[in-house]
Structure 1
Amino acid sequence: MIKSMTSFGRAQSEDGRKSSFSIEMKSVNHRYLDINIRMPRTMLALEEKIRKIISKRLNRGKVDVFINYKAYGNNIGKANLNMKLAEEYYKCLKQIQSELNVIDDISTTKIAKFPDVITLEELDDDLDDIFSEISPLIESALDLMNDMRCKEGEKLKVDILSKIEIIENYVEEIEKVADSIPKNYKKKLEERLEELLSGVDIDESRIALEVAILSDKAAVDEEITRLRSHLSQMKSTLDLDEPIGRKLDFIIQEMNREANTIASKSTEINMTNKVIEIKNTIEKIREQVQNIE
């Protein structure tokens, strides 16, 4: 099933626990899988395990993961007092008071606010317990992301198929124009020669040769065949049950290459205009493909 790379998922711990975890994940299109995890410092040792869970479920996209943690029990930290440092701050304040003859407004609260006088020591949590609690939450968030990716992917598929049909119609029109080029060129050449060489016999073999040379230069049969093949390959690729973004991107490049070749061989403004429409539609497909996993 085709999947988009744009998605969002969220999961949260049940109420009534001593601690609560909430996980939010969002992803946008990216050439590769780029995972950025933001979580409490005490959980950094779990980062690699979390990455492995996500990597098994997602193949491409820039994924931002936000893990928040709240503790409601007694194991929330310990305040430590650096009494020696507090005494040094106090001595400095008394010296300022004495030498500058300023009002004595030294207080316990003021000294406690100085850097490193009181520090909070975070008590270590059991990482195994934390991982066992957040793992199902990560999976739940990924389930939501996957559902959203599938729904968005189906919309992209419908849109791309409609654009493929548009290109196929233009290709049919180009083929008709290409078939009429030799006949039209021969007629124009004869009319021009008749105008310039009125009353002079015209060498029909030379006209036939000129028409043959132009027909060979303007022939787009091979390019049309390859372009149709690419369109068919794109439709079959859209039905694959695997990541197809990179493959579609390559097919788009080949389609664009064939369109450019047809444009370079075009001698009719009508054909050129249709090729421009094809290139414009290919570009729209390319923009959609950029968001496919």
Structure 2
Amino acid sequence: MALASMTGFARTHGTAGPWNWAWELKSVNGKGLDLRLRLPVGWEAIEAPLRQSASRRLARGNVSANLTMARTDASVSVRVNEDLLQSVYAAVGRAAAAAGAPAPALDSLLGLKGVIEVAEPEESEAERRQIEQGLLVGFEAALDALIVMRNAEGASLNAVLSERLDAIERLTQAAEANPARRPEAIRAKLAEQVRVLLDANSNFDPDRLHQEAIMIASKVDVREELDRLVTHIAAARAMLSEGTPVGRRLDFLAQEFNRETNTLCSKANDVSLTAIGLELKSVVEQFREQVQNIE
């Protein structure tokens, strides 16, 4: 199974018995699977199997499924409800006479609800089940097309995410090799800061300053952050190669990437290391935004 996006569109159409039907499916990002069905009145019986089919084949996404239907035959019957028409005519006539108004025209009453009844021929139970089965098969075909589009989009996202991971790896290696994080560079910078403090105030205790310097040196070490970034990169690449719905896990991993880069920036003891950290934050944010589209 390929990496899939949550965005896609599909449309299928066909016939079932005396009906023309068309399915239109749209899918966008979502935290879970949310199927929103729009069915013509009278066809609600197929809702449950439709939801089962969608949940069996899709893991995440807000999916809108719209079914439109039209009869192919013209065998409809039109009947005038004469009893209702006469009753209405008599009542309106009495009201008109009482008001001194002319009697109503008969054709003006034909538009009243219930006066004209239009009836479509009813299918037998067996015919109804056969039509419903045709609609379900059509929905499966629409799902096939939607999944093809989501997979194609997923392949593109896979390439983009892989590029972002390559960039994160290059920047992590650059931070690893940055001269500012070498022990001698940290010691030299701290020693310079101590000298400045002693020159400004000779009352500072040199031993206490030395202890504080050791503590500060341990706080600015980004070894753990770099190691975790390397681990997260390997984990992300493994997920991209799984071919299963990994969007939720990748989203969590993106948050961990962001956490490590934030810590790296806060610990940076040199402007060059800070610059690498800020670039890392930018690439990690791009990675996180693209992950939001993954199923």
Q: TM-score, normalised by structure 1?
A: 0.86
1:113 has 2:111 as partner:
yes
- In 2: Cα distance, 1:111 partner to 1:142 partner: 48
Q: Letter of the aligned partner of 2:51 in structure 1?
A: R
- The answer for the alignment partner of 1:36 in structure 2 is 36
Of 127-136 and 155-164, more deviation after overlay is shown by 127-136
* CA distance in structure 1 between the partners assigned to 2:112 and 2:71 by the alignment: 27
2:78 is the alignment partner of 1:60: no
* SS at 2:65 equivalent: strand
Instruction: Give runs of aligned pairs for residues 99-248 of structure 1, distance below 5 A.
Output: 99-104=98-103, 106-125=104-123, 126-177=127-178, 180=181, 182-191=183-192, 197=199, 209-248=211-250
Amino acid at match of 1:174: A
With the length of structure 2 as denominator, give the TM-score of the two structures.
0.86
Q: Given that residues 46 and 136 in structure 2 are in contact (C-alpha distance below 8 angstroms), is that contact kept between their aligned partners in structure 1?
A: no
Counterpart-to-counterpart distance in 1, 2:212 and 2:110:
98
8 Å contact from structure 1 (residues 30, 60) kept in 2: yes
| Separation (CA, whole Å) in 1 of partners of 2:254 and 2:190 | 38
| In 2: Cα distance, 1:275 partner to 1:184 partner | 18
Cα displacement string for residues 74-101 of structure 1 (whole angstroms, at most 9, x for unaligned residues): 555x445443432332123213321332
Please list the CA deviations of residues 163-209 of structure 1 after superposition, one character each: whole Å capped at 9, or x if unmatched: 111111221222233753643344345456666649x9xx9987765
CA distance in 1, matches of 2:110, 2:143: 45
Matched with 2:8 is 7
Structure 2 counterpart of 1:98: 97
Distance change (3 Å), C-alpha of 1:127 and 1:52: farther
Identical columns (%): 30
Q: Structure 2 stretches of 5 or more lacking a match? A: none
* Deviations, residues 39-76 of structure 1 (Å, cap 9, x unaligned): 21121111111222222221111111111111122555
Contact 1:85 1:117 in 2 (8 A): yes
- Per the alignment, in what secondary structure is the counterpart of residue 66 of structure 1? strand
> What are the Cα deviations for residues 6-46 of structure 1, in whole angstroms up to 9, with x where unaligned?
1111111169x632111111111111111111121121111
The answer for the alignment partner of 1:85 in structure 2 is 84
- Quote the offset at 1:286 in angstroms: 1.4
Measure the CA separation in 1 of the matches of 2:74 and 2:142.
29
1:288–1:190 distance in 2 versus 1, CA, 3 Å: closer
Q: Is the contact between residue 181 and residue 215 of structure 1 (CA under 8 Å) also seen in structure 2? A: no
Unpaired segments of 5 or more residues in structure 1?
none
Specify the SS of the correspondent of 2:154.
helix
* Cα 1:194/1:71, change in 2 over 3 Å: closer
Output the amino acid matched with 1:73: D
Which stretch shifts more, 239-248 or 208-217? 208-217
Whole-angstrom CA distance in 2 between matches of 1:189 and 1:61: 53
Say if 2:194 and 2:209, in contact at 8 Å, map to a contact too: no
- Shift in Å at residue 267 of structure 1? 2.8
For residue 91 of structure 2, what is the amino acid of its counterpart? C
For residues 208-236 of structure 1, give each alpha carbon's deviation from its aligned partner in whole angstroms, at most 9, with x where no partner exists: 65543222011111111111111110011
